[in-house]
């Protein structure tokens, strides 16, 4: 039977940026962003409380690809700081805020529910704290970041948000 403490909630309003940059530019971006960007692929780093002023998230999803996530109200300011600091650098900074929707899946059955539609192994030994990656859930591409033992942050294309919610609800029903 599924644990009723496991919940899927909407993430607070966020600004999201994809940064593509070499190692030297990454260091410069991290200094301006206020958080050292992770060096290892599939790792996440954060500073501050999620959704609160000053909060910062950085996820390294590829050799030169980072997701930078901040509270929505800070998005324009962060973008301006990064644009200024990275002027003249060979890089790309793209605002994907309106393309994505975020969720938080938390509780004792969170890993089991994710496993119902995703081929990844969410056991702590295979998917440890701080790990972040792209994969598929059912038929949709998604990004998943393990924030705590039973807490996952998920990003999907906005148009797939309701579908993702429905698939998690179906998986919860199937656990009964």
Calpha distance 77→141 (Å, rounded): 29
Give the total number of structural domains in the chain: 2
Indicate the residue among 95, 113, 137 that finishes a domain: 95
pTM, two decimal places: 0.90
Q: Give tens-digit pLDDT for 94-109.
A: 999 999 999 999 999 9
Is-contact 78 132, C-beta < 8 A?
no
Neighbours of 168 (CB within 10 A): 23
Which of 95, 115, 143 is the last residue in one of the domains?
Answer: 95
Q: Nearest-CA neighbor of 60 among 89, 23, 86?
A: 23
**Domain interval for residue 37:** 14-95
The domain spanning residue 63 has which CATH number? Answer: 3.30.70.1400
d(CA 150, CA 134): 18
Alpha-helical runs (H) found in the chain: 23-33, 75-85, 110-115, 161-174
Same domain, 125 and 157: yes
Report the distance separating Cα 27 and Cα 71, nearest Å.
22
- The pLDDT tens digits for 21-65 are 999 999 999 999 999 999 999 999 999 876 566 789 999 999 999
- Are 91 and 106 part of one and the same domain? no
Q: Would you call 45 helix, strand, or coil by DSSP?
A: strand
């Amino acid at each position: 039977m599924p644990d009723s403490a496991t919940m899927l909630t909407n993430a607070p309003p966020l600004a999201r940026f994809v940064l593509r940059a070499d190692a030297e530019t990454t260091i410069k971006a991290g200094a301006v962003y206020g958080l050292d960007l992770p060096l290892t692929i599939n790792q996440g780093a954060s500073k501050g409380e999620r959704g609160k002023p000053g909060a910062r998230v950085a996820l390294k999803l590829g050799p030169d690809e980072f997701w930078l996530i901040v509270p929505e109200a800070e998005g324009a300011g962060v973008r301006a700081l990064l644009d200024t600091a990275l002027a003249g650098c060979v890089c790309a900074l793209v605002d994907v805020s309106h393309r994505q929707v975020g969720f938080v899946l938390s509780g004792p059955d969170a890993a089991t529910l994710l496993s119902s539609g995703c081929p990844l192994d969410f056991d702590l030994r295979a998917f440890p704290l701080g790990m972040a990656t792209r994969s598929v859930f059912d038929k949709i591409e998604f990004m998943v970041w393990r924030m705590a033992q039973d807490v996952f942050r998920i990003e999907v294309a906005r148009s797939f948000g309701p579908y993702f919610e429905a698939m998690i609800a179906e998986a919860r029903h199937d656990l009964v």
